[in-house]
Amino acid sequence: MPRVVVHVMPKPEILDPQGKAVAAALPRLGFEGISSVRQGKRFELEVEGEVTDAVLANLREAATTLLSNPVIEDVTALDVEEGQA
């Protein structure tokens, strides 16, 4: 079954407190050399049938309306991964 992976990240101009917290915690735990961290979301959608251009366009709309908040987040990528079957 093919899988579509949707990547959602906070917009660059939006503060990302979770990412900032992680960035602050890293050196405290001994991990140096990271200048900034941003945290986003990742959705794995199992698609029934083939991923045609129409299906992908449909999913892109779902990604921008349901999976992300377009006020503060960008859908940075939609990757299609073919299933193993």
Residues near its own copies, by CB under 8 A: 1, 7-9, 19, 22, 25-26, 29, 31, 33-49, 55, 58-59, 61-62, 65-67
Element (H, E) at 55: helix 53-62
Tell me how many degrees the CA angle 12-13-17 measures, rounded to the nearest 5.
Answer: 85
Torsion of Cα atoms, 60 then 61 then 64 then 65, to 10°? -150
Looking at the Cβ atoms of 13 and 48, the one nearer to its own copies is 48
Q: Is 29 helix (H, G, I), strand (E, B) or coil?
A: coil
- In the complex, the smallest distance separating the C-beta of residue 67 from its own copies, rounded to whole angstroms, is 7
Q: Which of 17/33 has CB closer to its own copies? A: 33
User: Smallest distance from the beta carbon of 78 to its own copies, in angstroms?
Assistant: 13
Residue with tokens 């990742």: 42
Instruction: Please state the closest distance from residue 31 (CB atom) to its own copies, in A.
Output: 4
